[in-house]
Structure 1
Amino acid sequence: MPATATALPNRPSRTPSARPRPALALLALLVTVVVAACTPASSSTTDAGSAPTFTLRVGATSVTGTPSGSLGWGDKTGILGDRLKAAGVKKIEYSYFQSGKDVVAALLGGAVDVAVVGDNPTLTAKGNGADLRLLAFDQVHQDAWLIGAKNGPTTIAGLAGRSVTAPQGTIRDRAARQLIATAGLTGKVEVKDVPTPESIAGLSSGSVDATIVTGTGAADLANRGYPVLDKTMAHGLGAVGTTVALSSFVDGHPGFEDAWRSGLTATNADVRAHLDDYTAWVAQNDGVDVALVRQVTTADTFNREALPADGLAELQAAYDFLAADGTLKQPFDLQQWVGQA
């Protein structure tokens, strides 16, 4: 995460020939202290005759060090920034993290204003007492594939007595457990906490029986002959991408919630209208074959409503699973929470 620079109050310059008188120096110091104490962390400024403006700090995961998905397209086209101007956003500053858990931790710690993460870290944080506001989904119907090793089981049933790998606390971890439960294999298949790169390497060596992979990585493995044992979307268990902020931030920035929703839904509408251009950009940005991107990218993933009913159903399924397995230490009323958005 890039370091956030803290603005230091300007100090009057001193030269031997120009020394301020003590009374004026004291007055200047008092004014500087008051101004510094009243300046919010988001660096809000007010131009004469205009509403306060501020730099919006957005946290997300990224393997390229640039905004990706809907967020990236909104940044590239300028759609997101244009819509956010109505709420006083003069600039968007991005910070990138290794996992959704890290993004949420940065949000709770005050390092970013908005977190763009999967539903798993959002629900886990909310279910552990965080005062989060659900702003919008950036994508829905996100699929996860259970990929097996070559010369191993060709169906999920064949994993009985074996193991599946997935990074703990992620959507992939939940997807593994959901697919195991759906297949009636709970207690018969172990889920091991292994990062995705090591899991994929293990598939190749045969030391890993199966792992959960998403996006172009899943399509690439399938095209190279690794068996696809199951998919979450085959059971209506797709994940959603969430965008959340602290309630205190939303309450302190009137109009931001509506502007953010407008920016995301307008971005997604533009993606759907220019899907070939979007997938070509993703392929170039991620350094992968555009055919792989188009194999796993469908228009219905990009919701044109902030919180569409089908996305809410997927979020509810995720909540129910996490509540049942004890991940949520403080279960909450999901529908009431969504209704506050």
Structure 2
Amino acid sequence: MKTPLLSRTPVAAALAAVVATLGLTACGVGGETTQASADACPFEADESVDTTVRIGYQKIPNGDVVVKDQRILENCLPNATIEWSNFASGGDVVQAFGGGSLDIGLAGSSPSTKALSAPLDLPVSVIWVHDVIGSAESLAVRGGEATDIAGLKGKTIATPFGSTAHYSLLQAIADAGEDASDYKLVNSEPEQIAPTWSRGDIDAAWIWDPTLSELKKDGGKVILTSEDTAKAGKPTFDLAIADDSFIEDNPEVLAVWAKAQDYAVKQIKSDPEKAAESVAVEVGVTAAEAQKQFEGFVFLDASQQVGADYLGGKLGQDLFTTAEFLLTQDGIAEVAPESDYADGVDPGPAEAAAGE
């Protein structure tokens, strides 16, 4: 577990230069800058903060998009400038951190593990568990195409490489005693998968909502889920990572940010209809669909997150286990010492939100 405000070795300047050439603004679509008033803050606002906070989000039905749609940060940090940028996947979010263009961002446990491992070894820390992924990420196949992972050998399966869905797919193949080289795995971003499915270019996809729901409407049948791989001992998460320097310089921002996330999680649990309305706006589904999609995740409030099963201890072990598996799949160059992954988890913001 990382001691709050502990900094990591800065990423090599060469990496930042390389990432900068990738055109990161193309990954973060429509960076939105908004300001607001403290009047609508659901807890005590902090008017002393006047910095800019750059946040990378994904269109995933969890508390992060509730915070965005309801302008909780804008209302609780009324003198700050909040910039939201949308990313297609956690891999893109990690690239943006490598280029120094984000302060806080949502990335799955697999890309977050990569960020903490060589060759990246980015100066970031995990500060929040947006959700524990269950059936919200699943392997959809064409009806009658296959009933298990072995039945897809030789078939084309799409998934965003480096994502939690990719990790779960590789883990399912390994758990079945099969070899990933016997499958035609295709790297495809979520928005590309539905069109390629419709054209008949792919036979299956391990992906999340809203794309997953589109595939099911178009004849897809779910045969495996990330809940299954979690039960097999390989859980996946949507996590928030933050730049270590930003954490050190802006503890008051992170405290408000975590309180906003905690408020959103509690709203999902106590008033899912209201939370679903926000998700519908941000994700592009109906409110009814959004509420249904909540069932594919486990949401944790701040008091749960600081416990031993998550930010308080075991999450670091889960990241280390993920790194060991990624190494076998050539996803990373080497596994860092287990203590590095424990140190890459900073419970400070969640502890502030939990009042600890």
Q: What TM-score do you get using the length of structure 1 for normalisation?
A: 0.72
Identity, in percent, stands at: 21
Q: How large is the Cα RMSD of the aligned pairs?
A: 3.2
Query: What are the equivalent positions in structure 2 for 1:266-285 lying under 5 Å apart?
Result: 266-285=263-282
In structure 2, the partner of 1:222 is 216
SS of the residue 2:345 aligns to:
helix
Q: 1:189 aligns with which of 183, 188, 210?
A: 183
Indicate which of 204, 213, 216 corresponds to 2:207. Answer: 213
Query: Is contact 2:97–2:103 with CA below 8 Å preserved after alignment?
Result: yes
Q: 1:258 is aligned with what amino acid?
A: A
Match for 2:331 among 327, 331, 334?
327
Structure 1: gaps (5+ residues) = 6-49
Q: Deviations over 1:83-118 (max 9, x none)?
A: 557xxx623121223332332222232322212222
Looking at CA atoms only, which structure, 1 or 2, has the larger radius of gyration? 1
Shift of 1:146: 0.7
Alignment partner, residue 295 of structure 1: 292
Alpha-carbon distance, 1:264 to partner: 1.4
Q: CA–CA distance in 2 between the matches of 1:315 and 1:198?
A: 28
Instruction: Confirm whether residue 117 of structure 1 aligns to residue 107 of structure 2.
Output: yes
CA shift for structure 1 position 148: 0.9
Q: How many angstroms apart in 2 are the aligned matches of 1:279 and 1:316?
A: 34
2:136 is the alignment partner of 1:139: no
Aligned partner letter, 1:108:
G
Task: Note if contact 2:148-2:223 (Cα within 8 Å) is conserved in structure 1.
Answer: yes
Distance 1:60 1:220 in 2: 21
Residue correspondence of structure 1 range 98-113 to structure 2 within 5 A: 98-113=88-103
CA shift for structure 1 position 147: 0.9
Alpha-carbon distance change, 51 to 75 in structure 1, aligned in 2, over 3 angstroms: same
Distance in 1, matches of 2:189 and 2:50, equals 40
Shift of 1:154: 2.6
Q: Which residue of 2 aligns with 1:246?
A: 243
What SS class does the counterpart of residue 212 from structure 2 fall into? helix
Q: How far did 1:330 drift?
A: 4.3
Q: Deviation of residue 304 (structure 1)?
A: 0.2
Query: In structure 2, what is the Cα distance between the partners aligned to 1:153 and 1:217?
Result: 20
Counterpart of 2:38? none
Q: CA deviation at 1:223?
A: 4.5
One-letter amino acid matched to 1:138: H
C-alpha deviation, 1:317, in angstroms: 4.7
The alignment status of 1:170 with 2:167, answered yes or no, reads no
Does the CA-based 8 Å contact 1:148-1:203 persist in structure 2? no
Distance, in Å, in 2 between the alignment partners of 1:299 and 1:160 is 27
SS at match of 1:208: coil
Q: Deviations over 1:247-306 (max 9, x none)?
A: 112112243433332221222112211112222332344332444323321396221024
1:161 and 2:161 are equivalent in the alignment: no
Gaps of 5+ in 2: 1-24, 34-46, 349-356
Q: How far apart are residue 131 of structure 1 and its match?
A: 1.3
Q: Is the 8 A contact 2:106 2:239 kept in 1?
A: yes
**Structure 1 Cα separation of the partners of residues 273 and 48 of structure 2:** 39
Q: Which has the higher contact order (CA 8 A, sep 6+)?
A: 2
Deviates more, 1:258-267 or 1:120-129: 258-267
Give the aligned partner of residue 286 of structure 1. 283
Q: Partners in 2 of 1:91 and 1:131 — Cα distance?
A: 23
Match runs of 1:48-63 below 5 Å: 53-62=50-59
Checking the alignment, whether the CA contact within 8 Å between 1:81 and 1:263 is kept in structure 2 is no
1:318 aligns with 2:322: yes
Aligned partners of 1:165 and 1:194 also within 8 Å = yes
The one-letter amino acid paired with 1:75 is K
Count of aligned positions: 290
One-letter amino acid matched to 2:85? S
